[in-house]
Amino acid sequence: MLKQAVILVGGLGTRLGDRTRFVPKPLLDVGSRPFLDYLLDELSRYSTIKEILLLAGHRAESVVEGYHGKRWRGASLTVISEPSSCGTGGALKHAASRLHEQFLLLNGDSYFDFNLLDLAAQAMRSRSICHMALKRDMAGDRYGRVLLENKRVRGFLVAGAQPSGPINTGIYCVDREIIEYIDDMPSSLEQQVFPRLIAEGQLEAKLYDGFFIDIGVPEDLERARRELPNRVKRPAVFFDRDGVLNIDKAYVHRIEDFEWVTGAREAIKLCNDRGYYAFVVTNQSGIARGYYRVDDVHRLHDWMSGDLATVGAHIDDYQYCPYHEEGTVEAYRRVSDRRKPAPGMLLDCMKAWPVRTEGSLLVGDNGRDVEAAVAAGISGHLYQGGDVAAFLRTLLDARSNAG
């Protein structure tokens, strides 16, 4: 299971002129916050990622001061500073002792809105050393093009050689074995390492749609400032858990008792692939009744996240309510505005994440769920059996067609 992400934040940003003289390019202001924060927000959606390494070079002290030793939601941040300019490949080699066997690798100056775990799932099924995320089609002559044959990268065309086609977005799923392909320092992944991987059939890629921006030139930096703060706002699908995602066997809290409903994992991945947040909002009065503990709920949700990752899916946030007014455990015996039909859990998600209410919906299996959705200002839909993914796809398609 993928637990580490690495972000390259060491480039000089020479095409941006004076803007990057004293500020690393990924720390440039976009919407009153550093551009890097958007990448960290995106990575923090994936609860399986527990560690993020920032490989710093130019003005590394700014990155250290702002991020080293901190946490970003569930992930720890560590800054590793280059002793001198090492290039994109050299930065990896310098950090080799800290790298996991497999990790996500991102350029710190580009943002691409797609399901990262889908790329990771492809890498898990392959023996290739590096898997590259491609923007399916990007018009214009700024970017080079990637030549793809089935899943294999066969080469690159220089910028301006072709008016449209797939481009490298600077996001990869990488095996640590790539270090063996990095010899001289400084070293460039793009210029020195990737050609060797292509020659040995070790570089694969997959096409994705989604919003892409690279802030490497002034025009696109300004476009990011105009568009990115609004782009990260997205609708959400709120899932009740027992009876929608897993078969309701009454107070399910043990992994061995958990059984996915048909199409449940696929429904979550559908949200991920279409750019929706996916949230779980579940009443867990079994805690108040003394049947199990808070730790049991966390353990089960961690297991769910790991199992979802195997199919390239993830839940952005799990919200549960342990309270009940008739509980036998004193600490949890009370009325709560988080217990459905009250909307507290949904509203807490909306506060914690940039949720666009328009287009958001809830899937539940009883009237309490629907009441909570309506109280939170979104539509609620009753799932009454069958394939959850098919049920949800119909709802999302209807919204897409209406838009």
Q: What integer pLDDT is reported at residue 160 of this predicted model?
A: 81
Least confident of 157-171, 193-207, 301-315: 157-171
pLDDT digits (tens, 9 = 90+) for 183-232: 888 899 999 999 999 999 999 999 999 999 999 999 999 999 999 999 99
Q: pLDDT band at residue 142, thresholds of 50, 70 and 90?
A: confident
Q: What integer pLDDT is reported at residue 104 of this predicted model?
A: 98
Q: With a cut of 70, say whether residue 147 has pLDDT above it.
A: yes
Q: pLDDT band at residue 161, thresholds of 50, 70 and 90?
A: confident
Q: pLDDT band at residue 400, thresholds of 50, 70 and 90?
A: confident
Q: What integer pLDDT is reported at residue 384 of this predicted model?
A: 95
Q: What integer pLDDT is reported at residue 121 of this predicted model?
A: 95
All residues at 6 or more sequence positions from 116 whose CB lies less than 8 Å from its CB, including other chains: 42, 43, 46, 104, 133, 171
Long-range contacts of 147-151 (CB under 8 A, 24+ apart): 148/205, 148/207, 151/122, 151/126, 151/204, 151/205, 151/206
Q: pLDDT band at residue 257, thresholds of 50, 70 and 90?
A: very high
Q: pLDDT band at residue 348, thresholds of 50, 70 and 90?
A: very high
Rounded to two decimals, what is the model's pTM? Answer: 0.95
- Name the residue type at position 154: R
Interatomic CA distance for residues 364 and 238, integer angstroms: 8
Catalytic residue numbers read 240, 242
Q: What is the CATH number of domain 236-402?
A: 3.40.50.1000
Q: What integer pLDDT is reported at residue 234 of this predicted model?
A: 97
Does domain 4-231 fall under CATH 3.90.190.10? My reply is no
Average confidence (pLDDT) over 79-98: 93
Average confidence (pLDDT) over 50-68: 96
Q: What integer pLDDT is reported at residue 380 of this predicted model?
A: 98
Q: With a cut of 80, say whether residue 369 has pLDDT above it.
A: yes
Sequence ranges of the domains in the chain: 4-231, 236-402
Average confidence (pLDDT) over 45-62: 95
**Residue 148 DSSP SS3:** strand
Q: Where are the alpha helices (DSSP H) in 101-243?
A: 116-124, 194-199, 218-231
Q: What integer pLDDT is reported at residue 271 of this predicted model?
A: 98
Q: What integer pLDDT is reported at residue 291 of this predicted model?
A: 98
Average confidence (pLDDT) over 92-119: 97
Lookup: tokens for 102:
């497999």
Average confidence (pLDDT) over 306-328: 97
Q: With a cut of 70, say whether residue 403 has pLDDT above it.
A: no
